[in-house]
């Protein structure tokens, strides 16, 4: 635009002053060394204008040449970018389809011009891992970190997942615990740590992790209670198998008061002791609970106890019977305890009352055994049949 204005100004000046200068053309002398150039002012002006137009023409030609070069460069760059994107898409599809060698090849080829080389290297690492090429996997993970240092968390989470898939639990645990120091409440870190602890049977570590999982809403109340029970059940069994009931009770006393006063965990401890044939210790834990409350879940545990002396237990249950004469669980417990002492008449009376209220296979089998002792084989067969139905 500026050049056009300059040109118009020159033409206007020529039209305005041209006639006046026709008779007064002036004189220009240029002398350089031994050369001398003489011309009129009008001629010099015409030559200057022509030279100016030649400059404009040259500039336009050069500009177009460079524009074409830039266009070719841009076209080539866009072509390489589009090709890298196609390779990346094909690589992702191959990875999903399980063509791991092809996926690895395509992802690496597309990494150089990819919009997200991090994705290419992580996918290549996945493909190498699936082929058992663990050294190559680690190399690709390193390249992923070099391509995007800000994505360290995503890269290391991928690494821990692949390590867990490989069965390298300790290495995965070490890495996750380092990550947790930097991101203590990150959901993925917490969930994967729990998976590691479960695989390693690190029940105490999982117990300490559970409150964080609950705080991040990764466990609802029901799941939290189930996870808590699983950890304590495993620890109870482990301590009894490796040490004895004294060590188990010491461990229980070290737990927080809220844990020791949780009814479901109290019953879990008692059940574990019964399963491990520690009946006397189980009764010692049951006795104070029986004195404080009338609870069918407690009476059901009483029926499974095998003691040298049942008198204290029977005394407590009979006291409860005065207040709950129609409780099937209490009647069943009394029947089984008398049956274990071979007091078949008393056992039969309580068990028949229990079966009349709420028949169970365990009570019917016990009655069948009592009938056999009394040589009432037809009745015994009938109770056995009922227990199977």
% of residues, the chain, pLDDT over 90: 50
% of residues, the chain, pLDDT over 70: 80
Per-residue DSSP letter, 183: S
Q: How many CB atoms within 10 Å of residue 139?
A: 15
Higher pLDDT, residue 182 or 61: 182
- Coil, strand or helix at 369: helix
Predicted confidence band at 26 (pLDDT cuts at 50, 70, 90)?
A: low
167: left (phi over 0), alpha (psi -120 to 50) or beta: left
Helix (H) or strand (E) holding 88: helix 41-97
Q: How many helices (H) and strands (E) would you count in the chain? A: 20, 2
d(CA 50, CA 69): 29
Whole-number Cα distances in Å, 217 to 87, 205, 208, 283: 39, 19, 16, 38
Q: How many CB atoms within 10 Å of residue 84?
A: 20
User: Which of 115-129, 201-215, 241-255 shows the lowest per-residue confidence on average (mean pLDDT)?
Assistant: 115-129
**Does residue 45 carry a pLDDT above 50?**
yes
Query: What average pLDDT is seen over the chain?
Result: 84
What pLDDT sits at residue 195? 94
What pLDDT sits at residue 145? 84
**Contacts for 81 with CB less than 8 Å, ≥ 6 apart:** 113, 115
Mean pLDDT of 338-365: 93
Whole-number Cα distances in Å, 333 to 237, 309, 316, 370: 25, 15, 12, 15
Q: How many CB atoms within 10 Å of residue 341?
A: 13
Predicted confidence band at 72 (pLDDT cuts at 50, 70, 90)?
A: very low
Whole-number Cα distances in Å, 342 to 160, 252, 270: 60, 35, 25
From the list 323, 316, 374, the residue with the least C-alpha distance to 347 is 374
Predicted confidence band at 232 (pLDDT cuts at 50, 70, 90)?
A: very high
Q: What is the pLDDT of residues 89-113, one digit of tens each?
A: 777 787 778 888 887 777 777 776 6
Mean pLDDT of 365-373: 91
d(CA 167, CA 170): 9
| 156-165 CB contacts, 8 Å cutoff, 24+ apart | 157/188, 157/189, 157/192, 158/122, 158/125, 158/126, 160/192, 161/192, 162/125, 162/126, 162/129, 162/137, 164/192, 164/195, 164/196, 164/199, 165/129
What pLDDT sits at residue 24? 56
What pLDDT sits at residue 148? 82
d(CA 162, CA 156): 10
Predicted confidence band at 76 (pLDDT cuts at 50, 70, 90)?
A: very low
**Does residue 339 carry a pLDDT above 80?**
yes
Higher pLDDT, residue 154 or 6: 154
Torsion from C-alpha of 306, 311, 317, 323, nearest 10 degrees: 170
Which tokens go with 371?
A: 């009938």
Q: What are phi and psi of 197, to 5 degrees?
A: -60, -40
**Does residue 306 carry a pLDDT above 50?**
yes
What pLDDT sits at residue 40? 66
Q: What are phi and psi of 337, to 5 degrees?
A: -65, -40
Q: How many CB atoms within 10 Å of residue 311?
A: 8
Higher pLDDT, residue 46 or 141: 141
d(CA 347, CA 356): 14
Q: What is the pLDDT of residues 237-273, one digit of tens each?
A: 999 888 888 999 999 999 999 999 999 999 999 999 9
Predicted confidence band at 134 (pLDDT cuts at 50, 70, 90)?
A: confident
Q: Is 144 exposed, middle or buried (0-12, 13-18, 19+ CB in 10 A)?
A: buried
Whether the Cβ atoms of residue 122 and residue 158 lie closer than 8 Å to each other: yes
Higher pLDDT, residue 83 or 208: 208
What pLDDT sits at residue 143? 86
Q: What are phi and psi of 375, to 5 degrees?
A: 60, 30
- Coil, strand or helix at 99: coil
Residues found in the chain: 389
d(CA 132, CA 343): 67
**Does residue 35 carry a pLDDT above 80?**
no
98: left (phi over 0), alpha (psi -120 to 50) or beta: left
User: Which of 153-157, 194-198, 212-216 shows the lowest per-residue confidence on average (mean pLDDT)?
Assistant: 153-157
Query: Which pTM does this prediction carry?
Result: 0.69
From the list 265, 331, 329, 274, the residue with the least C-alpha distance to 307 is 274
């Amino acid at each position: 635009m500026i050049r056009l204005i300059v040109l118009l100004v020159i033409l206007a000046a020529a039209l305005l002053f041209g006639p006046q200068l026709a008779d007064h053309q002036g004189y220009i002398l240029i002398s350089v060394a031994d050369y001398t150039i003489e011309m009129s002012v009008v001629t010099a002006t015409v030559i200057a204008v022509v030279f100016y137009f030649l400059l404009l023409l040259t500039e336009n030609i050069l500009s177009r040449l460079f524009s074409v070069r830039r266009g070719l460069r841009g076209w080539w760059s866009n072509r390489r970018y589009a090709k890298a994107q196609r390779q990346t898409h094909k690589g992702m599809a191959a990875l999903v389809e399980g063509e791991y060698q092809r996926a690895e090849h395509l992802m690496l080829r597309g990494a150089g011009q990819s919009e997200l080389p991090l994705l290419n290297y992580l996918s290549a690492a996945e493909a190498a891992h699936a082929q058992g090429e663990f050294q190559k996997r680690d190399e690709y993970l390193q390249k992923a970190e070099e391509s995007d240092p800000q994505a360290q968390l995503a890269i290391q989470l991928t690494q821990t997942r692949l390590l867990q898939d490989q069965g390298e639990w300790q290495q995965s645990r070490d890495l996750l615990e380092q990550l947790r120091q930097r991101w203590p409440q990150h959901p993925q870190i917490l969930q994967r740590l729990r998976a590691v602890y479960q695989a390693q049977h690190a029940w105490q570590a999982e117990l300490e992790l559970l409150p964080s999982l609950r705080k991040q809403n990764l466990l609802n109340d029901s799941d939290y209670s189930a996870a808590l029970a699983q950890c304590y059940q495993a620890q109870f069994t482990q301590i009894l198998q490796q040490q004895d009931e004294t060590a188990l009770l010491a461990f229980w006393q070290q737990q927080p008061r809220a844990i020791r006063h949780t009814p479901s965990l109290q019953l879990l401890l008692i059940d574990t002791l019964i399963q491990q044939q520690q009946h006397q210790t189980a009764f010692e834990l049951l006795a104070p609970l029986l004195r404080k409350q009338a609870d069918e879940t407690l009476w059901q545990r009483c029926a499974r106890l095998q003691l040298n002396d049942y008198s204290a237990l029977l005394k407590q249950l009979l006291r409860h019977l005065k207040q709950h004469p129609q409780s099937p669980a209490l009647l069943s417990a009394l029947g089984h305890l008398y049956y274990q002492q071979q007091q078949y008449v008393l056992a039969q009376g309580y068990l028949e009352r229990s079966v009349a209220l709420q028949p169970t296979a365990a009570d019917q089998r016990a009655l069948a055994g009592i009938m056999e002792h009394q040589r009432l084989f037809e009745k015994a067969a009938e109770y056995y049949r009922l227990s199977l139905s």
